[in-house]
Structure 1
Amino acid sequence: MRYRDRDEEGRARNARPRDGLGRPLPYGSAGVERQPEGVERTPVESLAEAQRLLDRGRPFHAHEVLEDAWKLGPEEERQLWRGLAQLAVGLTHAARGNRAGAATLLRRGAAAVGPFGDRAPYRVDVTGLVRWADRLAEEQEAGGGVVDPAGSAPRLRGGE
């Protein structure tokens, strides 16, 4: 039987350290502190924390914040939060050099958030995010190189 890392409740959790883009590093390496999971934040707090992480070039970590909002939020908003998390993962893949994965997740995320454009909850800049995702996906599909995650980070909310 293969050993698996487990948390205090016995759930499988990978305890390997990770780099700033979420890639696993060898045990014992100095990694980047991970985002705690299952943190309940208000939607505005989730967006602010995710934006802070995106601005610091940590889209993988921003995805974890957005994933908490997706899993803990109201059913009618889950598609929005899942789409935002997918956009962050798409940026993560672009920063890692995985062009196909980046384009796929960027397009999937844009499709998920797009229907919220007419109501833009929490001032999420749906139109701007879809435009950003489409542009970056096109660049990646055209053979674009590795992107700087901080320099390529989108603005999640309008007017910021």
Structure 2
Amino acid sequence: MTTIRLVQGDITRQSVDAVVNAANSSLLGGGGVDGAIHRRGGPEILDECRALRASRYGKGLPTGQAVATAAGKLDARWVIHTVGPVWQGGRGDPSLLASCHREALRVADELGARTVAFPAISTGVYGWPLEDAARIAVETVRETPTDVEEVRFVLFDDRAYEAFARQLG
């Protein structure tokens, strides 16, 4: 059974097998969590992302899918990149947000990762309402069969931490 933990802090400082990156479809870095992971992880992550773009993902990584690279200088073995959906005009597709979590766990299982750190996917510039994103994330992780032993939701501020804590009950 997977243990779910909450941590308030910086996801790039977590010592885990895999860190999940709330990436943009280009896989070439960006703002928020994505930019922080690329900055702290160093050029190795970007180099592998460029190689993925040149081979399998010429048009970018589709929303809801996940792919792994090395973690560079992070205290992790891998970065699992997933593209969350954008909240548009008061609505979004919750199945795509759930898919981000399921697919990240699937990739983690393929890699043999036992500890995985997730951010609050889609809640930054993509605008997904925090309470709803927390519900979808926690429910999906609880319901997804996986060999991952610990999922750690690493939440940047009090507001996000409290939203996830409410979902864990």
Q: Same fold (TM over 0.5)?
A: no
TM-score, normalised with respect to structure 2: 0.29
TM-score, normalised with respect to structure 1: 0.30
**Structure (1 or 2) with the greater strand fraction:** 2
Q: Which has the higher contact order (CA 8 A, sep 6+)?
A: 2
Kindly name which structure, 1 or 2, has the bigger radius of gyration based on alpha carbons.
1
